[in-house]
Amino acid sequence: MSDAKVCVVVGVGPGLGEALARTFAREGWRVAVMARSVDKVRALADDIGGLAVPCDATDNDAIRQAFATVREQLGPVHTLLWNVGSGVFGDLDKVDVAGMELAWRTNALGLFVAAKEVVGDMRAAGEGNLVVTGATASRRGKPFTTAFAAGKAAQRSLCQSLARQLWPEGIHVALVVVDGGIRPADTDRPPETMLAPADIATTALHLARQPRSAWTFELEVRPHVESW
Amino acid sequence: MSDAKVCVVVGVGPGLGEALARTFAREGWRVAVMARSVDKVRALADDIGGLAVPCDATDNDAIRQAFATVREQLGPVHTLLWNVGSGVFGDLDKVDVAGMELAWRTNALGLFVAAKEVVGDMRAAGEGNLVVTGATASRRGKPFTTAFAAGKAAQRSLCQSLARQLWPEGIHVALVVVDGGIRPADTDRPPETMLAPADIATTALHLARQPRSAWTFELEVRPHVESW
Amino acid sequence: MSDAKVCVVVGVGPGLGEALARTFAREGWRVAVMARSVDKVRALADDIGGLAVPCDATDNDAIRQAFATVREQLGPVHTLLWNVGSGVFGDLDKVDVAGMELAWRTNALGLFVAAKEVVGDMRAAGEGNLVVTGATASRRGKPFTTAFAAGKAAQRSLCQSLARQLWPEGIHVALVVVDGGIRPADTDRPPETMLAPADIATTALHLARQPRSAWTFELEVRPHVESW
Amino acid sequence: MSDAKVCVVVGVGPGLGEALARTFAREGWRVAVMARSVDKVRALADDIGGLAVPCDATDNDAIRQAFATVREQLGPVHTLLWNVGSGVFGDLDKVDVAGMELAWRTNALGLFVAAKEVVGDMRAAGEGNLVVTGATASRRGKPFTTAFAAGKAAQRSLCQSLARQLWPEGIHVALVVVDGGIRPADTDRPPETMLAPADIATTALHLARQPRSAWTFELEVRPHVESW
């Protein structure tokens, strides 16, 4: 184990998760990237000198196991970036119980389980970060977000509870409300009309570095041309 | 079956659930009362000429069965009053996964399942009500409401999604945010310092009767001396 | 002076103001109607056995004089319905300082002055109502509501401050957030697609009658087909 | 005139205003500091190589004159930091019309006038920042904030309107909600229990530098031990 602080990114795909991992690695964290399929993140992990760990965020035991692996291989967790989110969309008629459960587990329950896993490390260190990727849906439910918004609302509420409990212990819980589409690698839409993953990551990094006298709990990020 | 409109109250104990049942029965609805233990609501059901139906709101199949019973015995459902709510309190260290799941199921998932059960009846009638008993915790998470607030936030979001979908079809989805302690039968605290169940029920009734040109989605009720 | 409780409606035109006046008069209040041009409300006042009082809600002295007249002619004020609202719309480029001032005065400052006028009567009686006609704009500013939303946001904030101060004294301050167009008398738009003034007034009346154990501060009213 | 971008800080005292001025000066902006009494900011202006300009933020003409001076002496305005805020506190009985007007003018109307002054420069440049120092009171009115919260709520609403209008033109309007006491120079309260002005300024700087793909409108800052 090195002396570097350990950052775990849960929910890593080619978009925001990768950008978060690269940004925190570049700034000195030792980064573990978690994804359901570890094959898809191994190249990234190698590239940033990090660790790829399989993790199904809907499976509580799998989450616990994944964090045990991180602690064993890299040491205590300093920063947790929860970037998991379900993509179940549809109204009451279209969504089923499984869709509701998926939204709940990936957004809220899994985060709860992961928070339990890392809070001991952070308390021992007297510091830490827990930055969560939220969504505008957390602030209001629409017909097509019957499942997704419910999960995101539960997530936002959970983050508020965690922040109010853990901030005084030096653990910075924060919520980045993503409002708009995240730019995929292969689009030809004009720049600045979609959220660039690296730009979101820069703001997440700012949160992780705020001094304790002036912490932010919640902020939103959106393209300057977005309608809101 | 009579001609009376059918109202189902889910989550009936001696407090608000009973007051809702009595109020809607008095105003002409045929009322089914659901509780985990049917023995505890049989006397109430007899008293208001209604139906007592067992229902464990954490069990999706039990919910479906309970509504099938109501439809078979009383006819299509006109008004659903969801008054179930978990009492799991505690912070990240005290609450466990089971507590989180209970809050999610009683507040949000069970409501989702019940909504699926009744929406067909209401659509066929071209009208209906779905009034949910919410809580202030739905608007903000505190350390001692890590589980409860997450469930209530998911519930509020779900209600928003349902309202935006179902209002145009004539189904009035509304949320009554209860902010304060509900007065138990046996307290000697001064009147007006706690929420009288019958007074909350009167406001729920007002919602159920609002004409379509001016529907309310959300309101809160609290004692006039409550601090907020 | 009769024994009837006195209700003052400030901001009376042919729409919501008139409906509020007629509703509260029908339910037993003695009603004073205030408008900039008293000629336009004299027929209404006669019709409901009330009093027409001239009042320019942007002029603090005029407000004070109008309430003095009411108290002199009808007695102490029991219920104040503040239904004034500016119609200044436009973005930063279109709105001028006068437009901003108008929104501030009609929505917030005038209400503040009127509240000072009536609070003594209500305290002496140990009860009273102050119900304010709000707008969705109070919850968010859009480019075309640069002035209007700022005034409405100030109004909503003022109502919160007043409610928290005056509720414990038995004075029910409440805010009716009107979300949608109010139906004019001469439209042929289908029923239920616009807010019927009488339906809003019925909900205002419900607020004025809520028992103290379960008061509502804020609710919104909108047509069931409204997009929100 | 130099090539440096021009930043104007309105409302400069020894606390946050000074920290904003020093931070933006250090990062390359040419800074004008505005205060009612120019004598109190001349030393600061000299120290940071900036310009001290007298400005009474309750006087619309004075605001216009102050910005004319800045443009004449430093060139077009690139970044406006509105840090003015009234300190009128008290409930309905204690606050008077003058206190309400002061809160309105310093928080909202003055900002409106200043925005009109700078928007042309920013449009010509195709970029700019307008960062406003808000307060928690903007989100809710309490009895002791009858005036202050109304002014801050109007300010927040105005910022939303401006953001929605001006973001697409490349002008980043943002609101920093200060939640807690700002640390004075001469306190012996433990570090991290009050907001350090320099720490707030760092976050304001982050906002001013966010790339357009991921702009934040609103965030709050508070000490990690603050109760909220």
For residue D123, the surrounding DSSP H or E stretch is: helix D110-125
D174 bridge partner residues: D131
Decide if pLDDT at C1 tops 60.
no
Contact partners of A by the rule of 3+ C-beta pairs under 8 A? B, D
**B130-134, C17-21, D185-189, D215-219: range with lowest mean pLDDT:** D185-189
Reading phi first (left if > 0) and then psi (alpha if -120 to 50, else beta), residue A91 is in: beta
- CA angle (A90 as vertex; A84, A92 as ends), nearest 5: 120
The pLDDT score that the predictor gives to residue A2 is 66
Reading phi first (left if > 0) and then psi (alpha if -120 to 50, else beta), residue B90 is in: left
pLDDT digits (tens, 9 = 90+) for D100-121: 999 999 999 999 999 999 999 9
If we measure between CA atoms, which residue out of C125, C130, C101 comes closest to residue C115? C130
What torsion do the CA atoms of B224, B228, C6, C8 make, to the nearest 10 degrees? -160
Strand (E) positions, chain C? 6-10, 30-35, 51-54, 77-82, 128-135, 171-178, 218-221
> Which residues, at least 6 apart from C25, have a Cβ–Cβ distance to it below 8 Å?
C7, C31, C48, C49, C50
Instruction: Write a three-state SS string for chain B.
Output: CCCCCEEEEECCCCCHHHHHHHHHHHCCCEEEEEECCCHHHHHHHHHCCCEEEECCCCCHHHHHHHHHHHHHHHCCEEEEEECCCCCCCECCCCCCHHHHHHHHHHHHHHHHHHHHHHHHHHHHHCCEEEEEEEEHHHHCCCCCECCHHHHHHHHHHHHHHHHHHHHHHCEEEEEEEECCCECCCCCCCCCCCCECHHHHHHHHHHHHHCCCCCECCEEEEECCCCCC
Residue recorded with tokens 């949910």: B132
C44 touches chain D (CB under 8 A): no
- CA angle (B65 as vertex; B61, B71 as ends), nearest 5: 145
D159 touches chain C (CB under 8 A): yes
Q: How many residues does chain D have?
A: 228
Interface contacts A/D by beta carbons within 8 Å:
104
Confidence of residue A183 (pLDDT cuts 50, 70, 90): very high
The pLDDT score that the predictor gives to residue B12 is 95
- Chain B interface, mutation test: which of C183, C215, C218, most B Cβ atoms within 10 Å? C215
| CB distance C76 to C125 below 8 Å | yes
Token pair for residue A223?
Answer: 């393209």
Mean pLDDT, residues B221-225: 98
Mean pLDDT rounded to a whole number for chain C: 96
| CB distance A199 to D213 below 8 Å | yes
* Separation between Cα atoms, residue C216 and residue A51, nearest integer Å: 54
B77 bridge partner residues: B6
The pLDDT score that the predictor gives to residue B1 is 55
Q: What Rg do the C-alpha atoms of chain D give, in angstroms?
A: 17
Token pair for residue D46?
Answer: 């000299």
The pLDDT score that the predictor gives to residue B3 is 81
The pLDDT score that the predictor gives to residue A100 is 97
The pLDDT score that the predictor gives to residue C115 is 98
* Separation between Cα atoms, residue A91 and residue B151, nearest integer Å: 19
* D205 vs B186 pLDDT, higher one: D205
pTM of the model: 0.97
Cβ count near A2 (within 10 Å) = 9
If we measure between CA atoms, which residue out of C54, C52, C44, C39 comes closest to residue C16? C44
The answer to whether the Cβ–Cβ distance between D215 and A200 falls below 8 Å is: no
| CB distance B12 to B50 below 8 Å | no
Residue recorded with tokens 């291989």: A73
Decide if pLDDT at D37 tops 90.
yes
Cβ count near B69 (within 10 Å) = 16
Residue recorded with tokens 């990237």: A33
Mean pLDDT, residues B116-121: 98
* Separation between Cα atoms, residue A215 and residue D221, nearest integer Å: 5
The pLDDT score that the predictor gives to residue C88 is 86
| CB distance A210 to A171 below 8 Å | no
Token pair for residue B97?
Answer: 């996964």
Token pair for residue C80?
Answer: 């104040």
Mean pLDDT, residues C20-36: 98
**A32-41, C1-10, C42-51, C157-166: range with lowest mean pLDDT:** C1-10
For residue D51, the surrounding DSSP H or E stretch is: strand D51-54
pLDDT digits (tens, 9 = 90+) for A124-153: 999 999 999 999 999 999 999 999 999 999
C151 touches chain D (CB under 8 A): yes
Residue recorded with tokens 């993503």: A178
C158 touches chain D (CB under 8 A): yes
CB-side exposure of A18: number of CA atoms within 13 Å?
A: 16
C-chain residues near B218 (CB < 8 A): 219-220
The answer to whether the Cβ–Cβ distance between A146 and B60 falls below 8 Å is: no
Mean pLDDT, residues C165-194: 94
The pLDDT score that the predictor gives to residue B86 is 74
| CB distance D109 to D62 below 8 Å | no
Identity (one letter) of the amino acid at A5? Answer: K
Q: From the list C112, C119, C150, which residue is nearest D157 (CB)?
A: C150
Q: From the list C170, C199, C213, which residue is nearest B214 (CB)?
A: C199
The answer to whether the Cβ–Cβ distance between D224 and A212 falls below 8 Å is: yes
* Separation between Cα atoms, residue B158 and residue B6, nearest integer Å: 23
C35 bridge partner residues: C54
B-chain residues near C203 (CB < 8 A): 206, 210, 214, 216
The pLDDT score that the predictor gives to residue B191 is 83
Phi and psi for A17 in degrees, rounded to 5? -55, -45
D-chain residues near C120 (CB < 8 A): none
A-chain residues near D130 (CB < 8 A): none
| CB distance C99 to C147 below 8 Å | yes
D-chain residues near C138 (CB < 8 A): 157
| CB distance A212 to A126 below 8 Å | no
* D74 vs B88 pLDDT, higher one: D74
Residue recorded with tokens 């001239």: C54
Nearest CA in chain A to B140: A157
The answer to whether the Cβ–Cβ distance between D161 and C138 falls below 8 Å is: no
Q: Tell me how many helices (H) and strands (E) chain C has.
A: 7, 7
Percentage of the residues of chain B whose pLDDT score is greater than 90: 93
* Separation between Cα atoms, residue D194 and residue D178, nearest integer Å: 11
Token pair for residue C215?
Answer: 């008061």
**What 3-state class would DSSP assign to D170?**
coil
C-chain residues near D135 (CB < 8 A): none
Q: From the list B167, B196, B228, which residue is nearest C211 (CB)?
A: B196
A213 touches chain D (CB under 8 A): yes
If we measure between CA atoms, which residue out of A152, A178, A154, A173 comes closest to residue A162? A173
Residue recorded with tokens 């009686």: C125
pLDDT digits (tens, 9 = 90+) for C70-109: 999 999 999 999 999 777 899 999 999 999 999 999 999 9
Q: From the list A100, A119, A158, which residue is nearest B109 (CB)?
A: A100
**CATH numbers and ranges of domains, chain A:** 6-221 (3.40.50.720)
* Separation between Cα atoms, residue D40 and residue D54, nearest integer Å: 10
Confidence of residue C61 (pLDDT cuts 50, 70, 90): very high
- Which residues numbered 95-124 in A keep a CB inside 8 Å of some CB on B? 95, 97, 100-101, 104, 108-109, 112-113, 115-116, 119
Mean pLDDT rounded to a whole number for chain A: 96
* Separation between Cα atoms, residue D204 and residue D209, nearest integer Å: 9
The minimum CA-CA distance between C55 and chain B, rounded to whole Å, is 29
